[in-house]
Amino acid sequence: MIELLAPAGNLETLETALYFGADAIYMAGKQYGLRAFADNFTEDGLAAASRLTHEYGKKLYVTVNSVLWNRDIPGLEGYLRYLSEIRADGIIVTDPAVLLLLRRSGIPLAVHISTQANTTNYLSASFWYEQGAERIVLSREVSLDDIAEIRKNVPAGLELEAFVHGSMCIAHSGRCLLSSVLTGRSGNRGACAQPCRWEYHLYEKGYDGQYFPVFEDDHGTYIMNSRDLMMIEHIPELVQAGVTSFKIEGRMKSAYYVASVVHAYRRAIDAYQKDPSAYCFNENLKEELIKSATRGFTTGFYFGNPYEDGQDTVRDTDPRRYIFTGKVISAEKDGFIEVEQRNKFSVGERLEVLSPRLESAAFFVESIRDSDGNMQESAPHPQQHVRINCPYALQPGDLLRRQDG
């Protein structure tokens, strides 16, 4: 079976990922993870997340994948023991110190080797397996042919996980020093400032105030800005190569983004698994992903080095942008629903529905009432609860959006 693995940077994205059909969730606690600026989870939050995930019959993986220093070691064993006690289904690891500590302490935790470990060949994969790893999160730089060769030459019990969607780094699977050098915030410690997304100009010493753009456009130059990965059109090739866990990048992303991406990949995977021999990709799913996009897309290194096709040097985003307008809080009677506003919407606007039970559903807003029953022409206040008309039997957790402009 294919596992659809989704990110969660906070409780809302966790709930959203589960609601829209993820098979497993990965997240971080307040330490040892590689997304220091996500909300992340306290120890009590991790325990609650584990309970909720298991209530859904799904799996929970916790990232312990930062590069460790001597000062990090004293609290590590206690943290790992706690993750075992709350029944985490696995931990995602970069540093060999974690495996050694697990072996010495006897803590029963399944180990997944992070993409940060840069596993690109079958001997490295086999090495990690012999150290106790159950899964390899493959380097983003491997091709489908590389994966097939790895699968053929490693033990059958070793699982292979690969990123299929989301942001790409310009460095080798995230092993980047730019942020540390330019800002003092290390990407290898979870504090990346994403300097590869910045606007750059060339400067020649001695010519103060003169800056020379590279590949100039109206906004500047983004010479290191990678396109986002999207492999939804290639489910069969990934499966045939030997990937069993399809990973979505995005622990810094919003609940709306997670809902859109999980929803699209869930439908694609389900259609493939229903009848692989008759599978035909639904182009509407690609359009669904474009609606939540902020950058252009690439297939990464799966079909070879993309070179310039993998870079978005002019920040070329798709013009069809959509705005997340609300989250359904309760399904009321008489054709109305209660919605928590996330961005302004008004009477007369067309809203699209994002729901795991509906496809291509939309309606026009005819009535907006506040919690006291007063009529409004719009819902301009952040997180205001309003009642609006809706012809569908929506459920709590369904989302609404509108086209921008």
Q: Which residue has the higher pLDDT, 166 or 162?
A: 162
Separation in Å, CA 60 to CA 40, 56, 86, 147, 269? 14, 11, 10, 25, 20
* CATH 2.40.30.10 domain span(s) along the chain: 322-403
Residue 331: per-residue pLDDT: 85
- Provide CATH 3.20.20.70 ranges for the chain: 3-174+225-310
CATH number of 322-403: 2.40.30.10
As a whole number, mean pLDDT of residues 188-205 equals 65
Asked whether residue 317 carries a pLDDT value surpassing 60, the answer given is no
Local confidence band at 210 (pLDDT 50, 70, 90 cut-offs): low
Residue 183 pLDDT:
72
Residue 104: what pLDDT? 96
Q: Return the pLDDT at 25.
A: 98
Q: Kindly report the pTM of this predicted structure.
A: 0.86
Residue 117 has pLDDT above 60, yes or no: yes
Least confident window among 158-167, 205-214, 241-250, 316-325:
205-214
Task: Using pLDDT thresholds of 50, 70 and 90, give the confidence band for residue 291.
Answer: confident
C-alpha span between 311 and 229 (Å, rounded):
11
Who contacts 37 (Cβ-Cβ below 8 Å, separation ≥6)? 190, 191, 252
Task: With a cut of 70, say whether residue 140 has pLDDT above it.
Answer: yes
Q: Residue 253 above 50 pLDDT?
A: yes
Residue 216's pLDDT band, with cuts at 50, 70 and 90, is very low
> How does the average pLDDT of the chain come out, rounded?
88
Instruction: Average the pLDDT over 298-304 and give the result.
Output: 90
Mean pLDDT of 143-169: 95
Domain 3-174+225-310 CATH superfamily: Aldolase class I (3.20.20.70)
Stretch 111-136: mean pLDDT, rounded?
96
pLDDT score at 191: 66
Residue range 2-53, pLDDT digits in tens: 999 999 999 999 999 999 999 999 999 988 876 555 578 999 999 999 999 9
